[in-house]
Structure 1
Amino acid sequence: MGRALKLLAVDDDAPSAELIVRVAERCGYEGFATSDPRGFINLVAALQPDVITVDITMPHIDAIELFGMLAQQHFDGEIVIISGRDEQTLLIAQRAAEALGLRQPSVQQKPVDFAFLRKTLNANRLARAN
């Protein structure tokens, strides 16, 4: 059997990131959380996650800058954008990630729809198994 898939949850609200990790672990992922986006790219390099969930409203760094770092690292995993911002802002972030060459990210407004998150994670797990 192959290695467990990994998820990295990035959210300046640590309890939100931990909640996402718990959902991911129930879906068979090895989950990691960070509330400090400044060390984010080092975690990506060390963990090599298959899925990254990103809150687009964080201090010290914006989502577009974060997506740029992922593109420079040639990240080819799944991105799930999660934010309390309005739908238009989420779509702008999604288009920005796509423009940088990242895989089309899923978008979800807070509060997190855990059924949708489980569905996204399970679909990703099945796609990688085939």
Structure 2
Amino acid sequence: MPVMSSESTVSRPEATWDGERRALQLLVVDDDAAQRTLISLAAKQAGHAVTVVSSCADAIRELRTRRFDCVTLDLMLDDGDGTEVLKAIADGRFAGSVIVISGMDAARRTGARLYARSLGIDLQSLPKPVDLAALRICLANLGKTALGLPVVHTWGGVAADSVAAKHRS
């Protein structure tokens, strides 16, 4: 994995398109090394390109210089509040998705969602420690919508919309 700076790393998948999905360009913003590792490994295993940063300053720098499809964002960072990153996202007219992954209580995550909405950002929220199954579903759905395809939830290899269609006929 090439190192971009002392705080930022990037990994690119071998193929960015396989006919059914497109690799997302994902920015992981978290100051907790274990959570950064879990989130980035889950995304890489799903075939996405991952850039990892641990601070508000590094996240804002990356958002100003590169294009991302999705940002996973911790709200409590060593050098500031994740809402500073949300403001930079809005200022940069970021068109991707934001997934807040935070150890804050549900009320504070809801507050962040309302603040983001006031900035024109629609975000999803997951509590820490991150539920990898929920994260994988979020990323899979984002990959589908990036292609203009319908969202398909899968659990254990069974496509939920196919099962529902069988029961309708």
Q: Match for residue 117 of structure 2?
A: 98
User: In the alignment, which of 131, 141, 146 is matched to residue 123 of structure 1?
Assistant: 141
Asked if 1 retains the 8 angstrom alpha-carbon contact of 2:56 and 2:82, the reply is no
Q: Match for residue 56 of structure 1?
A: 75
- CA RMSD in angstroms, aligned pairs only: 1.5
TM score, norm. by length of structure 1? 0.92
User: In the alignment, which of 69, 82, 86 is matched to residue 101 of structure 2?
Assistant: 82
Cα-to-partner distance string for 1:38-83 (whole Å, 9 max, x where unaligned)? 1212212333110100000112221222111110000111100011
SS state at 2:143 partner: helix
- In the alignment, the residues of structure 2 paired with residue 120 and residue 106 of structure 1 have an alpha-carbon distance, to the nearest angstrom, of 9
- In the alignment, the residues of structure 2 paired with residue 112 and residue 105 of structure 1 have an alpha-carbon distance, to the nearest angstrom, of 16
Gaps of at least 5 residues in structure 2 are 1-15, 149-169
Q: Match for residue 44 of structure 1?
A: 63
SS state at 2:109 partner: helix
**Pair 1:27-2:46 in alignment:** yes
Between the two proteins, the alignment pairs up a number of residues equal to: 129
The answer to which structure has the higher helix fraction is: 1
Asked if 2 retains the 8 angstrom alpha-carbon contact of 1:9 and 1:18, the reply is no
Q: Match for residue 14 of structure 1?
A: 33
TM score, norm. by length of structure 2? 0.72
Q: Which runs of 4+ in 1 moved over 6 A?
A: none
Q: Match for residue 112 of structure 1?
A: 130
- In the alignment, the residues of structure 1 paired with residue 62 and residue 113 of structure 2 have an alpha-carbon distance, to the nearest angstrom, of 22
Gaps of at least 5 residues in structure 1 are none
Higher mean alpha-carbon deviation, 56-65 vs 107-116, is at: 56-65
- In the alignment, the residues of structure 2 paired with residue 113 and residue 94 of structure 1 have an alpha-carbon distance, to the nearest angstrom, of 19
